[in-house]
Amino acid sequence: MRVGHLRQALLPGGDAAAAFPVQAAAGFLSHMDGLPDVLAWPFHFPTRYLEAAELIRKNVRTFATTSAGRLFDAAAALLGFTRETTFEGQAAMWLQQLAQRADSMDAYSFPFDRSELDFRPLLARVMEDRRMGRAREEIARAFQRGVANGVAQAVEELREEHAADTVVLSGGVFQNELLLADLKERFLGSAIEIWTNHEVPANDGGISLGQAALAVFRAESTADAAGTMGAFANEKALSECTNFRLR
């Protein structure tokens, strides 16, 4: 059951947007009003942004997304990563490295309301501070702290609503060590038990393993074989997560 998610944005060009941060940015910014001219100083977006915006306007090859990875790509584009990436997650890694050069900053707003994390205030502050000339490192740090605070707010509200005491932080975004450190700080002294990936990757590699395991579960094989796989999966699930209390 899905109990919360990032506010829905658009993804012009589908998966191709993962390789072009400005293309991902076009999809998120299309939900915001009062935008600055991102082709001009200090953003200097290439014309690919206009092409992506045209796809959105015509509703051609444009899809809905709630991907946190694409949100990080959009923020990276607004801070200067406007070229094509050469590997998955490159723009988000660049953003993290930028943030690590700054001291701990104030956090931008990333509110959780009615089961949605609203990215609009978050990106609005990124653009506002960039235009005001604030250091990119400080903006990146405030963005990351904002994401951590928004996730923490969602965890706290959903934990209370569903009477849960354990939270698993997984997915490609949680390969970001700075984000995990901010969340650890936020939950310091809390009774919430946090699990993170240890051996199995948090990104699509972990999904692939899970899909393979699920396929075995569903295979029309003998009950004995299914039972063996179940025992294996349970053992691996425990051994391949790091279970720690943030106290």
Q: Do 12 and 52 contact (CB within 8 A), yes or no?
A: yes
Instruction: Name the percent of the chain lying above pLDDT 70.
Output: 89
The neighbouring-strand residues paired with 166 are 193
pLDDT of residue 224: 54
- Same domain for 155 and 174, yes or no, is no
The gap between the terminal CA atoms of the chain, to the nearest Å, is 29
- Same domain for 26 and 123, yes or no, is yes
- Same domain for 80 and 134, yes or no, is yes
Closest Cα to residue 88, out of 235, 217, 202, 237?
A: 202
Model confidence over 103-155: pLDDT tens digits? 878 999 999 998 999 999 999 999 999 999 999 999 999 999 999 999 999 99
* pLDDT above 50: residue 242: no
- C-alpha distances out from residue 166 to 129, 173, 176, 193, Å: 36, 19, 20, 5
Q: Do 152 and 187 contact (CB within 8 A), yes or no?
A: yes
- Same domain for 176 and 70, yes or no, is no
Domain limits for position 137: 1-161
Q: Tell which wins on pLDDT, 203 or 13.
A: 13
Spatial separation of the C-alpha atoms in residues 186 and 230, rounded to whole Å: 35
Chosen domain end from 111, 126, 161? 161
- Same domain for 247 and 152, yes or no, is no
Q: How many domains does the chain have?
A: 2
Closest Cα to residue 16, out of 79, 80, 78, 60?
A: 60
Chosen domain end from 116, 138, 161? 161
pLDDT of residue 198: 84
Spatial separation of the C-alpha atoms in residues 42 and 77, rounded to whole Å: 11
- Same domain for 56 and 86, yes or no, is yes
| DSSP class per residue in 1-42 | ----EEPPEEEETGGGGGG-HHHHHHHHHTT-SS---TTSTT
- Same domain for 151 and 176, yes or no, is no
- Count CA within 13 A, CB hemisphere, residue 92: 23
Residue 202 binned pLDDT confidence (cut-offs 50, 70, 90):
confident
- Same domain for 43 and 143, yes or no, is yes
pLDDT of residue 216: 87
- Same domain for 74 and 99, yes or no, is yes
Chosen domain end from 161, 182, 202? 161
- Same domain for 143 and 185, yes or no, is no
The neighbouring-strand residues paired with 112 are 117
- C-alpha distances out from residue 165 to 77, 82, 220, Å: 37, 41, 36
Model confidence over 21-41: pLDDT tens digits? 999 999 999 999 999 999 999
- Same domain for 138 and 213, yes or no, is no
- Same domain for 175 and 234, yes or no, is yes
Please report, for the domain that includes residue 39, its CATH number: 1.10.357.160
Closest Cα to residue 113, out of 150, 144, 143, 145?
A: 150
